Amino acid sequence: MTIADTSQRPRFFARGNVYLPHIVVIEKVIEETPGVRTFHFNFKDERLREEFAFQSGQFAEYSIFGVGEAPFCISSSPTRRDHMEFALQRVGKVTNALHRLGVGAEIGFRGPYGNSFPLDFLAGKNLVFIGGGIGLAPLRSLIWNVIDNREKYERIDIIYGARSPADLCFKYDLETWGKDSSVNMVTTVDRGDKDWTGKVGFVPAITEQVAPSAKNAVAIVCGPPVMIRFTFPVLAKLGFTPEQMITTLEKRMKCGIGKCGRCNIGNLYVCRDGPVFSYAQIKSFISSEY
Amino acid sequence: MFKKIGHSEIAKLLSEWSKESTVLVPTRADGVTTWAKWDGRDVSFLDWYRNTVVPPKSFLLPMLEEMFRFQKGKDGYSLELPPSDGRKQVIFGIRPCDARALAIIDLVFREGYEDLYYVNRRNNTTLVGLACTSPYDSCFCTSLGSGPGDARGVDLMLTTAGDQLLIEEVTDKGKELTAGASGLGKAAEADLISAREAVELASRKVTRQVDLKDTDKALLANFEKAEFWEDIAAKCVSCGICTFLCPTCYCFDINDEMDRQGGARVKSWDSCQFALYTRMPMENPRVEKWRRVRQKVSHKFLFYPLSYETTGCVGCGRCIRRCPVNWDITQVLNSLTAKVA
Ligand code: SF4
Ligand code: FES
């Protein structure tokens, strides 16, 4: 596994007809929870395996030919590039079809789209990652990116929650981060079970308990909209300014490149101007558009 | 540069253009005015044509189009682009509002990653504008910095001057059409004056006005007020007609369609007035109708100005003429500014 500094990687822009997907091949399927799977994949085209570059936070449109396309973030880190990963919950037509795929299946991939987490801005800061459910997928790309360049960042807090212990995604990562002495990991569930020894409570409430300091810090929040909506006020109470709160948003996204019109929040398109936003950018629209 | 042409010479001109290009003209299909390939004879639309119900955007953004086909073979999937249709097209008689509308769509479709389906067609398209002589009472283009004779957005501009048409060569693309064309004369000072008078007369007929001075401020100030928007949206039936007939509305959907030969990924018109448009499996930010109506109004009069320093509306009035429940954007805009004042 190669570990590289991603800021050095050239940006990859699709040439020609951007709607034409590349073919990628599924290399591994991981059952994260009963409804969530992670897929490891790679380009069929050898040259693309070499050339393709992306940044943490970017997403792509994945498609099953004959079923349709759906957007998911790239959940692996660009610092670890022998393959790429995306994770998804089985909820709709495309995700159900994707869940039926096994190793060797070919799917369409176009991207990477959107902006990415602002690594330069994050460098030298205390980072507070706050995730809920499958919202850990985009954070995970950044967390590994940061851990692989650990000396560039200060304190790392990770607060992650899910509905129940069975709903926790990326348990293998949670375990690794839990053991990493340079990371302060807090895991919580809304409802525990008899074996659960961690915290119990909603992510915003646990965030208030953990009370990360806002000093020289940036909070990166990702999860279901309701979690995001309730976490921002908690952070504000802790002294985080809107510029110190970053999130990545999800919308129905069809084109992925700011054309089809459906993913806007105000005059910003989540696909084109996001998916990574500071709270300062979206606060005038967020309560009613997200 | 200005030239002129007699009415009786138009058919010949269109025939010449038809050799190189597909010439599209206003037509009536079962009483509905729309656009079609010129039949090689009829130019009577010059007499009856005010504006079409269906805007000419469909020749750049088809209602439905195959983006590519896919097929599964023994080595996996192969994709095939549709044969490139490099043929040039001339939209003859496009109204100034509809031409400006395409310039507005350009801002989005040429920006960042280009949408080549649109851009290639657009590059192959020449717009021959025709100044309006009898605007509808629902037209309000003059409130949007435009008007019946506005030549920004077209390649050639035609204006009635007596029994002739004055031709203004606006762009180089337009000049390519007039170069070597037969039947064109040199315009005299008197023709320019008579054309200007015709435009002024037509402009005076555009009586509907909106005051857009504080519209963006009013929209921002009232953005979160549900009751305010519920009121505005009350009678709308979410049919989407206003968006489908809007010359600047470009929203589309992408879906896969299977057929006997394999399958195709298809692009089709979509509308922000439909709840499905923004639906995600677990969330939908615009379930309520008022949020969708707010999106339509805000996109054109707040978000566009914020991003591109222009409104996303050209004042063609189609949404007013064709709405089944008489929802009227000009009324909404005027009541908005009244509220903020
Ligand atoms: S045409 Fe009228 S009723 Fe139909 S969506 Fe537009 S405003 Fe609503
Ligand atoms: S996904 Fe089409 S505009 Fe954002």
Q: Who has greater pLDDT, B280 or B124?
A: B124
As given in the structure block, the two tokens for residue B285 are 């930010």
User: pLDDT for B192-211, tens place per residue?
Assistant: 999 999 999 999 999 999 99
Residue ranges making up the domain that contains A183:
119-289
Q: Which of B76, B117, B254 sits opposite A254 (nearest CB)?
A: B254
Q: What is the pLDDT of residues A11-31, one digit of tens each?
A: 555 567 899 999 999 999 999
Asked if A35 has any chain B CB less than 8 Å from its own CB, the reply is no
Residues A124 and A175 placed together within one structural domain of the fold: yes
The CATH number linked to A40 is 2.40.30.10
Tell me: do A263 and A151 sit in the same domain.
yes
The verdict on A106 and A12 lying in the same domain is yes
Cα B154 to middle of ligand 2, angstroms: 28
Hey, which residues does A132 pair with through a beta bridge? A161
- Last residue of some domain: A54, A86, A113? A113
Amino acid at A10: P
Ligand 2 nearest-atom number relative to CA A270: 4
Alpha-carbon gap, residue B305 to B312, rounded angstroms: 8
Check whether residue A126 and residue A224 sit in a common domain. Answer: yes
In degrees rounded to 5, what are phi and psi of residue B89?
-135, 145
Query: Do both A20 and A51 map to the same domain?
Result: yes
DSSP B78: E
DSSP strands (E only) in chain A: 22-33, 36-43, 59-64, 68-73, 84-89, 106-113, 126-132, 156-162, 184-189, 199-200, 217-222, 245-248, 264-265, 268-269, 276-278
CB contact under 8 A, A254 and B117: no
Per CB-CB distance under 8 Å, the chain A contacts of B250 are 259, 261
Neighbours of B107 (CB within 10 A): 15
pLDDT for res A7: 42
DSSP string across B207-228: ------TTHHHHHHHTTT-HHH
Residues of A in contact with B67 (CB under 8 A): 19-20
Say whether both A227 and A204 belong to one domain.
yes
Q: Report the domain count for chain A.
A: 2
Chain B nearest CA to A93, separation (Å): 9
Query: Is B325 a pocket residue for ligand 1 (Cβ < 6 Å)?
Result: yes
**Residues A27 and A53 grouped into a single domain:** yes
Task: Please judge whether A106 and B77 are an interchain contact, meaning their C-beta atoms are less than 8 angstroms apart.
Answer: yes
Q: Tell whether A139 and A276 lie within a shared domain.
A: yes
Query: What stretches of B146-251 show up as alpha helix (H) in DSSP?
Result: 172-178, 189-205, 215-221, 226-233, 241-244
State pLDDT tens for residues B241-279. 999 999 999 999 999 999 888 899 999 999 999 988 888
Domain final position from A69, A94, A113: A113
What pLDDT, on a 0 to 100 scale, did the predictor assign at position A285? 62
Contacts of B81 in chain A (CB under 8 A): 17, 20
* CB pair distance less than 8 Å for A17 and B81: yes
Spatial contact of B185 and B4, defined as CB atoms under 8 Å apart: yes
Q: What pLDDT was estimated at residue A287?
A: 57
Whole-number CA gyration radius for chain A: 18
Average pLDDT over residues A74-90: 95
Q: Which of A90, A113, A136 is the last residue of a domain?
A: A113
Is A276 near ligand 2, meaning CB less than 6 Å away? no
- Smallest-distance ligand from the CA of B250: 2
Q: Using a 6 Å cutoff on CB, does residue A252 contact ligand 2?
A: no
Q: How far is the CA of B45 from the centre of ligand 1 (A)?
A: 29
Q: What is the pLDDT of residue A124?
A: 96
> Does one domain contain both A152 and A267?
yes
Q: Is residue A1 part of a domain?
A: no
φ, ψ for residue A253, nearest 5 deg: -130, 120
DSSP element (H, E) containing B64: strand B64-73
